[in-house]
Amino acid sequence: MEFLEYLLSRLHEELNSSDSIGTLTHQKGHQKNAEAEASSMAAWRAYTNKNNSIIVDLFHGQLGSTFTCLKCGKTSATYSSFSHLSLPLPTTKTRRPVPLLCCIEEFLQKEKLTDHWRCPICKAHKGAEKQLTIYQLPLILITQLKRLTSENGQPVRLSKKVEIPIKLDLTTYVHSPHGPTSERSQRFIYDLYAICDHQGDWRSGHYTASVRSLHRPGWNGFNDREVAPLAELETQNEILVRQIHDSCFM
């Protein structure tokens, strides 16, 4: 993922046809859904004015981070672009695989901050609630699972399997100015294009990839220099259950 992020970022820098290099974030306070929509659109226009490349057109989306002061209730938001979503693995007691949508729901969960955020009204670092909102989704969506964590000070790789849908519908997870349950004119439905698996632990291991074939129905497996059709993915399964690391949807 680090290499892919670097590659996309370098390609964008080389292909960016905008003269001005600007900041990637834009801050604006908001209270209501419609105001948040206007703020996010203004931030997105400012971002795409300064970042104009096919990489942005294909891979970049926009996230909003909303902070609410737990003392005075003041809300403020920051908007930033992303080239992939880095998703947490929900902690569950069962050994069952976790649906990828649960990882997205966990990503969008409210989070309590103790003293990292400075409230502009209280003029002090007060406790706050942070929530991420997806405002723009890219044409090609890359997700990464945060599998590295630590237990008792030691790095650990989480081996939980994830259910990846062949069709991923994120329509209800994208911010709507009229509220989450409103009818949307635009739908955000993706087809799974590629997944990256990892075997091993946090110290070492081996990556392989499964990529949908562009020339015939089915999938190809990429294992170092070997590329071969993947018979087990030829069937019309609607969900893949794998210990994936990254996935790519188009």
Regarding 128 and contact with Zn ion (CB under 5 A), the answer is: no
Regarding 124 and contact with Zn ion (CB under 5 A), the answer is: no
Token readout for 22 is 């600007």
Interacting residue with Zn ion among 54, 72, 148, 227 (CB under 5 A): 72
Regarding 103 and contact with Zn ion (CB under 5 A), the answer is: no
Regarding 206 and contact with Zn ion (CB under 5 A), the answer is: no
Token readout for 186 is 């635009």
Q: Which residue number, 74 or 175, has a Cβ lying nearer to Zn ion?
A: 74
Region of 28-36, 85-93, 112-120, 190-198 interacting with Zn ion (CB under 5 A): 112-120
Burial of 204 (0-12, 13-18, 19+ CB in 10 A): exposed
DSSP 172-215: GGB--TT-TTS--SS--EEEEEEEEEEEE-SS-EEEEEEEE-SS
Region of 26-34, 117-125, 183-191, 201-209 interacting with Zn ion (CB under 5 A): 117-125
Query: C-alpha distances in angstroms, 151 versus 148, 155, 157?
Result: 10, 6, 10
Min CB(134)–Zn ion separation in Å: 26
Helices (H), the chain: 2-15, 33-50, 54-59, 100-107
x-or-dash string of contact with Zn ion, 25-54, rule CB under 5 A = ------------------------------
Query: C-alpha distances in angstroms, 153 versus 72, 150, 156, 159, 205?
Result: 36, 6, 9, 18, 21
Interacting residue with Zn ion among 55, 77, 98, 119 (CB under 5 A): 119
Min CB(39)–Zn ion separation in Å: 19
Q: Which residue number, 67 or 107, has a Cβ lying nearer to Zn ion?
A: 67
Interacting residue with Zn ion among 38, 46, 122, 230 (CB under 5 A): 122
Specify the 3-state DSSP secondary structure of 88.
strand
Token readout for 130 is 């942070």
Specify the 3-state DSSP secondary structure of 117.
coil
Number of residues that bind Zn ion (CB under 5 A): 7
Min CB(25)–Zn ion separation in Å: 21
Binding site for Zn ion (CB under 5 A): 69, 71-72, 74, 119, 121-122
